[in-house]
Chain A
């Protein structure tokens, strides 16, 4: 904006400024007054006390808000549509496991495993057995903790419950990865088991990871759970592909429920330990 006075020496008089402020000056005259005000210190000084600053401040605040407030990401918008509160959706958006790249990677891994199971015989089914429950476990591993969150310390020092934050993110990971695993299960050839049975070992593994996170970081807990699950598969493996049947039918299913519930109880009992580094609450 210039700080000069127009060479013509003309200035808007009080009556004209008043009409301009009331919006009664008409389009042509109003534009002329506006153009003049942009160049004339004197007229700006005279009009300033006549203008109520409150609406201008509101306009400026709205403008600043529209420029500065970040546009929610895709997952944040999806979470909002699913009824997640605005502030909780923002907390989800900071987790690496809930960023578009990770979700896409998980989807591709599950799709690859499902394709391998369709055409790869017993080995393909085995691959799917490994990937489907561990995909959400890996997501939990990279959703919270000192290894994956650079703001881990100030996050701990905030009053927001660490266990709630971890559970919120774990739940979101289950929502994003479990349906994919279930869909993959439906595609498997000749299977007698329903797609829903995939939910049980996956949920049990996630619950175990959460429980383990009360002793160590989620990343380490997830590593232990992954090794354990691989051990289970190795133990049950048979060349004819019966491992999948054995692990997803019959007596194995209540076992997953029992393990998952026990892990959930352990998590609940020890969740206060998540509030500190070193877990020595």
Chain B
């Protein structure tokens, strides 16, 4: 795949090794404005990829361009960082800080040195994540979801052109997640938003494009609709688990939802979801790998 002219993110043959382990292995892809979802099992390489997009980790091999700049050059890396918002998977906070003070602190690191303008921006991003009324509360007294929103607020400072979010909805209740989707979809109008998540419903609701990573490689890259289409005819309801189905579980209606290679004749087919398609994709990959080993 070659970089499109309007691509804001372009990876070419990017590899990242930790010792002998390849966390990312020869990844080539481009991204542009809009919301892209990154799916994959734990240890697939999502966080490594996001750290590279956030300029905090360099590739071992290959080239990376962000917003038209080369992050391996210190000056250009700083320029990328001026247009970047990053929410890592795990985040702590300085002891004793309130939500306001923490976001204020991060705004200073993002070169907001004028106090009045900075405080206005802090209030704006706290408002976006619904924390303005809790701004003075110490972070340690807030719930996990509220702390996650404070962490997200710092990523939104300055309306970044590149927004990298590692599991942003972790710990959020459904209402908060819905509100967050509104914020991220609005950001996706003008910015490149990349979010890694295990919540396939967030991908379905928010992302124009989905990339599935497994074993350090890109296994799927396309629209959400195209991913879901790969599961057409492979999800069905039955009164009992179907032998040979890849996944099967009893639903609230008492019937069993089966996901597998092919529905048996006469099965009651149902519309697949992103989760079904994702499970099938990973299952197919695992089966292919097993077959390779057996051969």
Residues of B within 8 A of A83 (CB): none
Contact B111 A159 (CB under 8 A): yes
Contact A151 B104 (CB under 8 A): no
Contact B88 A160 (CB under 8 A): no
Considering only residues 59-91 of chain A, those with a C-beta below 8 Å from chain B are 64-65, 67-70, 85-87, 90-91
Contact A68 B123 (CB under 8 A): yes
Main secondary structure of the interface of A (DSSP, over half): helix
Residues of B within 8 A of A93 (CB): 94, 105
Main secondary structure of the interface of B (DSSP, over half): mixed
- Judge whether A277 is part of the interface by a CB distance below 8 angstroms: yes
Q: Using an 8 Å CB-CB cutoff, how does the interface string of B21-56 with A read, 1 for contact, 0 for none?
A: 000000000000000000000000000000100111
- Judge whether B98 is part of the interface by a CB distance below 8 angstroms: yes
Residues of A within 8 A of B74 (CB): 272, 275, 281
Candidate in A69, A90, A154, A281 with the most chain B CB atoms within 10 angstroms = A154
Residues of B within 8 A of A165 (CB): 109
Residues of B within 8 A of A157 (CB): 54-56, 81, 84, 86, 164
User: How many residue-residue contacts, CB under 8 A, span A and B?
Assistant: 113
- Nearest Cβ on chain B to A235's Cβ, whole angstroms: 36
- Judge whether A96 is part of the interface by a CB distance below 8 angstroms: yes
Q: Using an 8 Å CB-CB cutoff, how does the interface string of A156-174 with B read, 1 for contact, 0 for none?
A: 1111110001000000000
Tell whether A154 pairs with B91 under 8 Å between CB atoms, given A69-B119, A277-B57.
yes
Residues of A within 8 A of B250 (CB): none
Contact B110 A158 (CB under 8 A): yes
Number of A residues, CB within 8 Å of B: 35
- Judge whether A153 is part of the interface by a CB distance below 8 angstroms: yes
Residues of B within 8 A of A86 (CB): 115
Contact B135 A153 (CB under 8 A): no
Question: Which residue of the partner chain A has the closest CB to B59?
Answer: A280
Residues of B within 8 A of A155 (CB): 106, 109
Contact A156 B56 (CB under 8 A): yes
Separation of A22 and B72 alpha carbons in the complex (Å)? 63
Contact A160 B111 (CB under 8 A): yes
Contact B94 A158 (CB under 8 A): no
Of B55, B58, B93, the residue contacting A150 (CB under 8 A) is B93
- Judge whether B220 is part of the interface by a CB distance below 8 angstroms: no
30 contacts between A and B (CB under 8 A): A68-B100, A68-B135, A69-B100, A69-B104, A85-B113, A87-B108, A87-B112, A87-B118, A93-B105, A94-B97, A96-B94, A99-B95, A99-B96, A150-B91, A151-B91, A153-B54, A154-B154, A156-B55, A156-B56, A157-B55, A157-B56, A157-B84, A158-B110, A159-B79, A160-B109, A160-B110, A160-B111, A165-B109, A278-B58, A281-B58
Q: Measuring CB to CB, which residues of chain B are less than 8 angstroms from any residue of chain A?
A: 51, 54-58, 72, 74, 77-79, 81-82, 84, 86-88, 90-98, 100-102, 104-106, 108-113, 115, 118-119, 123, 135-136, 151, 154-155, 164
Sorted nearest first, the 9 A-B pairs with minimum C-beta distance are A150-B92, A158-B109, A94-B94, A157-B86, A153-B88, A159-B81, A160-B109, A70-B101, A87-B108
Q: Measuring CB to CB, which residues of chain A are less than 8 angstroms from any residue of chain B?
A: 64-65, 67-70, 85-87, 90-91, 93-94, 96, 99, 149-151, 153-161, 165, 272, 275-278, 280-281
